[in-house]
Structure 1
Amino acid sequence: MGILLYSTFFENSDFYNILGSLCKIRLGYKGSSYLYYKTKKLDRLLGTGEKIDQISELLEDCNKEHIISFFKENHFKEIRNTFFHSAYSLTDEEYFLHDSEPIIINNWVQNSLNFETFITPKIEKIIAFFDFFKNLFLDSFNSYQNDKIVNGLFPNPVEVTIKGSERGLKGFIIKNSVQFYGKWHDSGIFYDEQYDMWTGKNITMYFPNLETIEIGELLRRYEDKDDIRKNNSEFFNLIDKIAERNNPNEKLRGTMLLVKFGNVRYEKMEAQQNEHKKNSFPKIILPYYKQAIELGGNIIDPAPIKKLIKELETEQM
C-alpha cells in the first residue's frame, strides 16, 4: 500500500500543473493549466521524471529550492516503474527491482531497497509534503471571507470581483463584460450551490490566442533571465512549439534566446581551467547553436553561429 501511494503521488499531472501555475503567478505572469506544450516531437504522455524536469526551472526562478530538493531526494523512477509493471519482489525487509536499471544512492549501485531505512522514510516525507501542500492550498481558498475587487487581465485589463463567503472562495465575476442582443451581461467562474459544482458563465476560450499570449509570456521570462540554471527541458519544449507554430516574431525571439544561452555556455567553457571539464562543454553548447540555425537560419546571419558549430565539432573529435 505504501509503494502504491508513493507511485501514484508522483504520477499526478494536476499536482505539477498547480505548482507550475502558482510559480507563474508568483513571477508576475498569468496562471496556466499547461505544464508543457504537446508537439509533434511528443508522441506520448510525459513520464514522471519528465514532468519534474519541465517544472524545475520555474521552481528555480521562484527560489523554491526546498521543493526541488524534495523531488531530488524522494523521487526514484525505478520504484514507480517496477511497481506499476509488477517487476519487483518483496521480503519482509527488502524491495527488489527486476527488469530495471539499478538505483544509485550515495554513489552506491543498488538493486534492492530496505523498507525501514529507505522506502518508509520516503513515504513519510511524501505524506507530510502532501498534507502541508493540501492544507496550504485549501487555506488559501478559505481565506476569502469577503468580496474583493482586483485588477485582472482577461486578456485585457478589467476590474474583477472575487467572491468570498463564510465557506471561502466562491469564484469571480467580471461586470458587464459580454454583450448579447444589445444587452450587457456579467461573466466569470463561480460555485453553483444547487448543482454542487464549479461553472463558467459567458466565457469564450480562443485557444490560438491563449497559446500566443502564454508563449509570449514564456519568451519574455527567458529574455529576462541571464541563464538557465536548473533544467532546460521547459525551454527546449518552448522552442519545439515555436518551430511548429512558425510565427516569424516568435522564431526570431526564440533564435536569439538559443544564441544567448549558447553564448553563456561558450563563455563558461572559455573560462574553465580544468581541461577535463572544458572538454565536456561542446556537447552541451551545440544543441543551442544547431537549433538556432534550424529555427532562424533564414532570419539572422547564420555565418558566425556556423563557425562556432564547426569549431565545437572539431573540439569534440
Structure 2
Amino acid sequence: MNKWIKPKPLALVSVLVMLFVLIGGALVTKTGSGLGCGRSWPLCEGQLIPKNITFELLIEFSHRMVTGVAIIFVGLLSYVAWRHYQHIKETKFLVVMTIVFFILQSLLGAGAVLFEQTSLIKALHFGISLVSFATVFLLALIIFDVDGKFHTDQLKIPKKIRTQFYGIFIYTLIVVYSGALVRHKESSLACVDWPFCYNQEPFNFGNLGTEQWIQMGHRLMAGLLFIWVIGLLLHLYRNYKEKVFIKNGWFIASILITLQVILGALVIFTLKNTTIALMHALFISLFFALLSYFILLSYRSAKKED
C-alpha cells in the first residue's frame, strides 16, 4: 500500500467529509440557497470564481466545493477498499454502492440547479445522500476492523430480530423522505404547536391544509419510528440479555432517535432555528448509518443459517 495513503485516516476523513456534504445539502435547502449560483453547474454564475458574492451564493458554492473534496476522498477510499480489503466479501458491493449513490446524489444536485423539479423529486436527494453516507460509513468500519474487535463473526441474530431491523430500515427511508418533503414543500412551520398542529384543537383535522397534512404526516411517521425503536430496545433487554453487542448498539441507536425526536420538536419551538434544523439532519444520518451496520450484521447472520 502506498505509504502516503493511510487507510484509517483516509476512512475517517471520508466519513467526516461525506457528513459535511449531507449537512451542507440540508443547509442549502433550509436557507433557500439552491439557486445561489443561478442556473449554472458546475460553475457558479458561469464563472469558476464568482464575483458578486451573496449569502445564498456562498452557501451553494461552499457546498459544491465540499462535494468536490468528497469526490477525491471517496474515490481514494473506494480504491483502497477494493485493492486491499476485498478479502471481506461485502467490500466490493459496498464500493459499487458508494460510487453509484454518490453519482446519483451529484446528478440530482445538478438537476435541481439546471432544471425545474417538483418537491417530490427534490426530496429524493436527501435519501440518496443518506445511503451514500451509510456505505462510506460501512467501508470505514471494515477498514477499522470493527468486526474483529467485537468478534461479530460469532454473532447470531435471531430471525425475528433480523426482520425487525429490515423493517425499521425500510420504514426509516420512508420517514426520511417525508421529512425531506416537509423541507422542500416549506411546511416546517405549517403547524405552530407540537405534538399536534394546534394543541388547543388537536383533532380538528378539517381545517388542516395540504402543508399542514404533510407536516403532521411526517410527525406521525416519526413518532411511530421512535416507538418501534424503543419497543425493540425493551424487547432486546427483556429477551436477549446475552446479546450484549446488539443490546449496546441498539441502545446507542435509541439515543440517536430520541435526540432526533427532541430536535424535531425544537425546530418548531425555535421557529426553525438553522443550527437545530441541521442537528436534526445530523442525528438521523448517524442513526441510519448505525442501522445500516445492523443490516449488514443481519445479512451475515442469515447467511450462516443457509
Q: TM-score scaled by structure 1?
A: 0.21
Q: Which has the higher helix share?
A: 2
Q: TM-score scaled by structure 2?
A: 0.21
Q: Which has the higher strand share?
A: 1
Query: Bigger radius of gyration, 1 or 2?
Result: 1
